[in-house]
Amino acid sequence: MQVVKRKIVLLGDGAVGKTSLINRFVLNKFSDKYIQTIGVKVSKKTVTVDDTEMILMIWDVLGQKGFTKVQEASLRGSEGAFLVCDLTRPETLSSLTGYWRDVLVRAAGEVPVILLANKSDLEWAVSEDDVRAVADELSAPWYITSAKTGENVEEAFHNLAGMMLEFEPVRRERGEEKADVMNLRDVLDYIMTDFARTYGSFEDAMPIIRKQFERANIKDMENPTYDEIERLIKNLYELSREMMGDEKAYRMRLRWVGKLRKFRGGDI
Ligand code: G3D
Ligand code: MG
């Protein structure tokens, strides 16, 4: 059985139920207590599709229009996405085509997408036909879900995982295979993810990263320069030594420098 690791994201207006859907899927429970995530939280769950074990890294990005650059950057490398709306609020459905689709495509390109119309256990303010129309426009399958009752949640995640597997040959053809760092933007991504992973908690790492991005004066997150990244590495490394100890920080820095070095023969 092959094992692969894949990144997925949930996008949609605030309070449509993204965090609750993840909790339902990952923990199989619904918590009425709403924990507002600041920035990004990553959960992990393994699903089996055919003879492939897929480790899904599920990124929960705080859902509000007007993403920060760091939030938008955290969507990069996503290999599948849910666009989520709330059946009790029609405007959350229209913003999927009006806003979130573009955010996703800008950050991740064309990836498998499923529309989730959530909160089916409450009184609906949109019809199934409305949902279908938007799904058509997105060329995406759709599910009526409830994070509260669990309706269709498991099914939706499994279906997305399956779609991602089917999509892999397409990615290969396009030369979009994972893992290889392709450009400076990817290096920036890598550093951010690696730091958060090494730090241990994405929630706690995010504010630090955001601050260090500002400090390194990275002007365009889409097009970072070599010097800007070099500055970021230097700052983050200094900080990490204090926070994680020399050994851990040093090895982390080595990984970053290894990626960055490819873009300019010399040493940093
Ligand atoms: P978000 O992550 O998209 O911002 P949350 O949304 O998951 O935080 O959910 C926002 C609110 O909607 C929460 O209520 C949550 O409990 C509720 N909710 C999410 N999914 C469902 C659902 O399927 N059915 C019902 N009835 N409620 C749901 P609170 O009151 O905690 O803010
Ligand atoms: Mg949330």
What does the buried/exposed string (b/e) look like for 5-42 if buried means 16 or more CB atoms within 10 Å of the residue's CB?
A: ebbbbbbbbebbbbbbbbbbbeeeebeeeeeebebbbb
pTM: 0.71
Q: Ligand 1 center to residue 14 CA distance, Å?
A: 9
**Closest by Cα among 18, 28, 108 to 61:** 18
* pLDDT tens-digit map of 134-185: 999 998 999 999 999 999 999 999 999 999 988 876 666 666 555 544 688 8
Neighbours of ion ligand 2 (CB under 5 A): 18-19
Is the minimum distance from the CB of 35 to ligand 1 under 6 angstroms?
A: no
What does the buried/exposed string (b/e) look like for 139-156 if buried means 16 or more CB atoms within 10 Å of the residue's CB?
A: ebebbbbbbbebbbbeeb
The tokens of 263 are what?
Answer: 């873009």
* pLDDT tens-digit map of 181-240: 468 888 888 888 889 888 887 778 888 888 888 888 888 877 889 999 999 999 999 999
Going through 66-221 in order, the beta strands assigned E by DSSP cover: 80-86, 113-118, 142-144
Ligand 1 atom 32 nearest Cα: 34
Give the position of tokens 């913003």: 95
- Please give the angle made by the CA atoms of 9, 142 and 3, to the nearest 5 degrees: 45
| All domains of the chain in start order, with CATH | 2-167 (3.40.50.300), 172-263 (no CATH)
Give the position of tokens 């409450």: 122
Residues 6+ apart with CB under 8 A from 206: 38, 39, 40, 70, 196
